[in-house]
């Protein structure tokens, strides 16, 4: 047995059985080991940003890490943007990064790089294996680091000679430690804030936005009259009819300030104290209103379900009927020209039960997330780190993790152009993903941001940098070139036809919505 085989067997011992890969020469022994050791599903991405983004989407739905296989420093570098998103989402990923044989590094061959230096900014844990005999133990440490609650990015660098050298065998991977217990004093502080007689809100994040934790939050809201708010971006949130009424904190600073202006007691459960996405001249970075007391009940790493259960019990809310969204399925679909309100109504009516929504619609998406609160129950995944090019890869990983559920990717055209190669992986793996490209032929959000930051109106150069025309990307042709069926819509009527066609297609389907 060589080091690579011992590593693969160790990954399987830690229940890491999916590998998103884009390998090169230094990883060939690991590639070969994936043939010799049964149990790992290997999925090729044509660009490393697809690989890392897919691993993020996979973790959010599977609740366990996948491995990535990346080629040296440049390969890891190509994947960093979506590792940034994954780290902000607190996703667990085990990166396996090939390295030159240890004795070859001194010669400064063309691909030689400081891989640890490249890895550290987007990793919570980094280690280079020094011996083939240590690879299995190092791999076990990587898996344990990735599974540390709520999830971490672990990067194991594998020199080629440690992969081909002799090794003893795989190593046992320790079970994940339980999430941190929330102190009784934090629960007491939360009760005090909610019973103060002042206007209160609970800002929810992480695992507090799904399952029993969210149900307890809905009961607390009904009992105390507090408002439930989610962070603007959320790794995974359970939404729709029958689930808790949770307002999404707006992206636009003025709108966020308006939502929070009357709040005098703000509780944090799995969320950070709210700040604006960017700095704007004359506007605050901190969104907490003056005179508001912020109480941290539990961080994202804590046992949020237990914390909210304890809070509900302390308030006598366990048996209170939860405050939930009522179904709001319009009988008649909107028709005519494309409008943001029309899009919200259409998607509200057509999102299927138990769907997984991947949201990188950016500008357009802000308009219809609120409109779909009464849709059929679904999960909603946001881009967490703001580094565009996440949506198509994340949809790929989510579909691998949940093959029995329809995945819908709402994707801006500018963002999609970063990682359009993910369409090929969707086609190759026959993934059940319906993609809607909001083709406004521009980095539309930046046109608005130009005004928001107080810059001058766009002239010739600025317009050229913010628009996607001359020529217009043809998404139907792009999709078909990667093997994905596709159609185009220019009205709400055509969108309804195309979206339904995508939902009825068992494999990938792309709708180009010309805005």
Structure tokens at 298: 């539990």
d(CA 199, CA 179): 30
Q: What pairs with residue 294 in β-bridges? A: 266
Residue 37 — left, alpha, or beta (φ > 0 → left; ψ -120 to 50 → alpha)?
A: beta
Predicted confidence at residue 286, as pLDDT, reads: 97
- Split at pLDDT 50, 70, 90, the class of 381 is very high
% of the chain with per-residue pLDDT over 90: 91
Confidence of residue 468 (pLDDT cuts 50, 70, 90): confident
Please name the fold of domain 184-315: Rossmann fold (3.40.50)
CA torsion angle 5 8 10 14 (round to 10): -170
Q: Please tell me the predicted confidence (pLDDT) of residue 421.
A: 98
pLDDT of residue 467: 86
Instruction: Give the CA-trace dihedral at 32, 35, 37, 43, to 10 degrees.
Output: 100
CB atoms within 10 A of CB 120: 13
Which pLDDT does position 443 carry in this prediction?
80
Residue 197, C-beta contacts closer than 8 angstroms, at least 6 positions apart: none
What pLDDT score does 444 carry? 74
What integer pLDDT is reported at residue 155 of this predicted model?
99
Tokens of 427: 């086609």
* Beta strands across the sheet bearing 485-489: 237-239, 378-382, 355-360, 407-412, 433-439, 509-514, 485-489
Whether 511 and 495 have beta carbons less than 8 Å apart is answered as: yes
Report the DSSP pairing between strands 237-239 and 41-44: unpaired
The Cα 128–Cα 161 span in angstroms is 12
Contacts of 455 (CB under 8 A, 6+ apart): none
Nearest of 399, 387, 478 to residue 43 by alpha carbon: 399
As a whole number of Å, the end-to-end CA separation of the chain is: 57
Question: Would you say the CATH fold of 184-315 matches that of 3-164?
Answer: yes
The CA angle 320-321-324, to the nearest 5 degrees, is 135
Cα–Cα dist 509/288, whole Å: 42
What predicted TM-score, i.e. pTM, was given to this entire model?
0.96
Q: What is the pLDDT of residue 54?
A: 99
Q: What is the DSSP letter of 181?
A: P
The whole-number pLDDT of residue 365 equals 76
Task: Say what the pLDDT of residue 40 is.
Answer: 98
Tell the CATH superfamily of the 3-164 domain: Thiamin diphosphate (ThDP)-binding fold, Pyr/PP domains (3.40.50.970)
Euclidean distance between CA atoms 245 and 217, whole angstroms:
10
For the domain 340-514, what is the CATH code?
3.40.50.970
C-alpha–C-alpha distance, residues 414 and 438, integer Å: 9
pLDDT per residue as tens digits for the range 26-46: 999 999 999 999 999 999 999
What does DSSP assign to residue 327?
A: P
**pLDDT at residue 211, rounded to an integer:** 98
Determine the Cα–Cα distance for residues 117 and 345; give it in Å rounded to an integer.
48
Give domain limits for the chain: 3-164, 184-315, 340-514
Q: Residue 181 in contact with residue 303, Cβ under 8 Å?
A: yes
Length of the chain: 515
Which is it for the CA torsion 449, 451, 456, 460, positive or negative? positive
- CB atoms near residue 24 (< 10 Å): 15
| Residues 227-251: tens digit of each pLDDT | 999 999 999 999 999 999 999 999 9
CA distances 374 to 74, 242, 260, Å, are 45, 8, 23
The pLDDT of residue 331 is above 80: no
Peptide bond into 217 cis (omega under 30): no
CA 266 to chain centre: 25
For the cut 80, the answer to whether the pLDDT of residue 330 exceeds it is: no
- The conformational region for residue 342 under phi > 0 = left, psi -120 to 50 = alpha, else beta, is alpha
Return the bridge partners of 341, or none: none
For range 86-102, the mean pLDDT: 98
Phi-psi region of 461 (alpha: psi -120 to 50; beta: other; left: phi over 0): alpha
Question: Once rounded to an integer, what is the mean pLDDT over residues 273-288?
Answer: 95
| Residue 410 reports pLDDT greater than 90 | yes
332 CB burial (10 A radius; 0-12, 13-18, 19+): exposed
Residue 209 DSSP symbol = G
pLDDT at 223 over 90: yes
Given a contact cutoff of 8 angstroms between Cβ atoms, the answer to whether 283 and 211 are in contact is no
The encoded tokens of residue 214 equal 């969210």
Give the pLDDT confidence of 171-218 residue by residue, as tens digits. 999 999 999 999 999 999 999 999 999 999 999 999 999 999 999 999
Report whether pLDDT(22) > 90: yes
| DSSP H helix total and E strand total for the chain | 21, 18
pLDDT given at position 221: 98
Check residue 101 and give its pLDDT. Answer: 97
Q: Is-contact 330 407, C-beta < 8 A?
A: no
For residue 366, pLDDT over 80 is answered with: no
| Mean pLDDT for all residues in the chain | 96
């Amino acid at each position: 047995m060589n080091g690579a085989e011992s590593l693969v067997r160790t990954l399987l011992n830690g229940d890491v059985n999916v590998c998103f890969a884009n390998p090169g020469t230094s990883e060939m022994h690991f590639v070969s080991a994936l043939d010799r050791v049964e149990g790992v599903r290997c999925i090729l991405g044509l660009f490393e940003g697809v690989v890392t983004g897919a691993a993020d989407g996979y973790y959010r739905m599977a609740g366990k890490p996948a491995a990535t296989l990346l080629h040296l420093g440049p390969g890891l570098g190509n994947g960093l943007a979506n590792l940034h998103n994954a780290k902000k989402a607190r996703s667990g990923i085990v990166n396996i990064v090939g390295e030159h044989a240890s004795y070859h590094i001194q010669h400064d061959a063309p691909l030689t790089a400081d891989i640890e230096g490249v890895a550290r900014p987007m990793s919570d844990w980094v280690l280079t294996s020094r011996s083939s005999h240590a690879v299995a133990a190092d791999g076990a440490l990587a898996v344990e680091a990735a599974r540390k609650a709520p999830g971490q990015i672990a990067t194991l660098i594998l020199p080629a000679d440690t992969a081909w050298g002799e090794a003893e065998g795989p190593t046992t991977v320790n079970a994940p430690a339980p999430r941190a217990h929330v102190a009784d004093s934090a629960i007491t502080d939360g009760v005090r804030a909610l019973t103060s007689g002042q206007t209160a809100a609970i800002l929810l994040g992480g695992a507090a936005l799904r399952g029993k934790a969210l149900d307890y939050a809905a009961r607390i809201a009904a009992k105390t009259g507090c408002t439930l708010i989610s962070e603007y971006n959320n790794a995974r949130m359970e939404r729709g009819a029958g689930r808790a009424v949770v307002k999404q904190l707006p992206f636009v600073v003025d709108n966020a300030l308006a939502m929070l202006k009357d709040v005098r007691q703000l509780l944090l459960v799995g969320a950070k104290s709210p700040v604006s996405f960017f700095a704007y001249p004359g506007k605050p970075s901190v969104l907490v209103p003056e005179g508001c007391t912020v109480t941290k009940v539990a961080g994202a790493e804590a046992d949020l379900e237990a914390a909210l259960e304890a809070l509900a019990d302390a308030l006598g809310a366990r048996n209170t009927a939860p405050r939930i969204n009522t179904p709001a399925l319009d009988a008649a679909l909107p028709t005519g020209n494309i409008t943001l309100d029309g899009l919200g109504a259409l998607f509200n009516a057509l999102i299927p039960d138990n769907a997984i929504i991947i949201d990188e619609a950016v500008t357009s998406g802000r308009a219809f997330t609120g409109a779909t609160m009464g849709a059929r129950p679904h999960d909603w995944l946001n881009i967490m780190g703001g580094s565009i090019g996440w949506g198509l890869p994340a949809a790929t990983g989510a579909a691998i993790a949940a093959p029995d559920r329809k995945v819908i990717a709402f994707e801006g055209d500018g963002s999609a152009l970063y990682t359009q190669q993910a369409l090929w992986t969707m086609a190759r793996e026959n993934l059940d993903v319906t993609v809607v490209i909001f083709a406004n032929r521009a980095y539309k959000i930046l046109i608005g941001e130009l005004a928001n930051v107080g810059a001058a109106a766009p002239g010739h150069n600025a317009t050229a940098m913010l628009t996607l025309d001359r020529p217009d990307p043809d998404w139907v042709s792009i999709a078909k070139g990667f093997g994905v069926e596709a159609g185009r819509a220019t009205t709400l009527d055509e969108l309804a036809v195309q979206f339904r066609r995508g939902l009825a297609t068992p494999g990938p389907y792309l709708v180009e919505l010309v805005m």
